[in-house]
Structures are given as C-alpha cells and as structure tokens.
Amino acid sequence: MNIAGMKLLIVEDDADFAATLARAMIRRGVEVEVAHDAAEAQTTAAGFVPSHAVVDLKLPGESGLKVVEQLAAQAPAPAIVVLTGYASIATAVEAVRLGARHYLAKPADADEILAALLRDQPDAALEVNPEPLSVARLEWEHIQKVLNEHDGNISATARALKMHRRTLQRKLDKHPPKTA
C-alpha cells in the first residue's frame, strides 16, 4: 500500500473511536486531522485539504452524506470512505452517488479502512451472499430508502410510511438487523 503523502480527514462523532483511528493511521505514516461534525469537517477540510477522508454516516446535526457531498465538490476531491454502524443499501448507494469511493460497516479496523481508502478499482471478485435478506432487514432497508428520499426528515418519513413518528424513531434507534 502506498500511503506516502496521504492527508486523511476523519469525520467521526465518537471521540474515542476517532482518536483510536487517528493514532493507528499516524503510526502508519499518515497525516491526520479529525472533525466531529459536519461544520467542523467543512472548516478543517478548507485549511487541511485532505487527499482522503473517512466519514461517519451518522453525525450530530447534518448527515455524513452532506459531508460526502461537500468534500466531493472540493478540487481536488479526496478519496472518501463512508463508515457506519447503520449500514443500509439506500445509504450506500447514495454515498457512492455523492462521491464516496467505498462504504464500510462498523466495526472496521484501521487496516480495512486503509485498504478501502487506497483501493481505486471496483472488485468484481467480491462475494455475493447466497441467502436472501431477512424480513426485518428488508424493513430496515425500506425505511432507510424512504428516510433518504425525505432528506432525513423523521416526520415526513413517518407520514410516507403511514407509521407513527415515535414508532419510526424507535425503529431507527435500534441497530440494523443482520443481512441474512
């Protein structure tokens, strides 16, 4: 892996995880800056000009997708990896459409993240899960898709799903179900 000259922006609201990842990347010879929300990411990116970025999907305030969009609009645009504990097909597709290079589900270690940051070609050898998604996972994916279509607005999403807003919030507060 060639990491010479890599300038990595880590956008992660979990301060402990961000610090651990930053230390791991610094030990590998990467120059690192950390931001904990979208506004801080924008300010840091303007002065630091990252070549690569790791962006958490779920940030306080604005979504990590907004950060991906803002970073991808910079010249030169950094290679972006979205990292999340709330992985869904809808957010993965949207992240890539907005400019992310890869999308990783937590937990991911520093080596996996670094490999994703450096990989610039698609992987046709990626294994396809032979099992269909569970009903719970299909529901989660559908909710994420509709939430994304309503720009993260919980009330509008609940109306579109014909679901009580509090019920939707409870479903969103839970971790996503396993894929199979």
Residue 140: alpha-carbon gap to chain centroid: 17
Confidence of residue 123 (pLDDT cuts 50, 70, 90): low
* Statement: residue 47 has pLDDT above 60: yes
Query: Domain spans of the chain?
Result: 7-118, 135-173
How would you class 131 by CB atoms within 10 Å of its CB: exposed for 0-12, middle for 13-18, buried for 19 or more?
A: exposed
Locate 179 and state its tokens. Answer: 């894929």
Locate 70 and state its tokens. Answer: 């803002």
pLDDT attached to residue 69: 93
> To the nearest whole percent, how much of the chain has pLDDT over 70?
87
pLDDT attached to residue 44: 93
* Segment of 17-21, 132-136, 141-145 carrying the highest mean pLDDT: 17-21
What is the DSSP track for 4-23?
TT-EEEEE-S-HHHHHHHHH
Confidence of residue 95 (pLDDT cuts 50, 70, 90): confident
Enter the pTM of the model: 0.71
Average pLDDT over residues 120-143: 67
Q: Which of 26-30, 91-95, 109-113, 132-136 has the lowest mean pLDDT?
A: 132-136
**CA separation for the pair 63, 151 (Å, rounded):** 9
* Statement: residue 32 has pLDDT above 90: yes
- 85: how many CB neighbours lie within 10 A of its CB? 15
* Statement: residue 125 has pLDDT above 60: no
Residue 69: alpha-carbon gap to chain centroid: 12
Locate 78 and state its tokens. Answer: 């950094």
Angle at 102 between CA 101 and CA 108, to 5 degrees: 145
Higher model confidence: residue 94 or residue 9? 9
Task: Name the fold adopted by 7-118.
Answer: Rossmann fold (3.40.50)
* Segment of 26-40, 76-90, 91-105, 163-177 carrying the highest mean pLDDT: 26-40
Does 1.10.600.10 match the CATH number of domain 135-173?
no
pLDDT attached to residue 119: 83
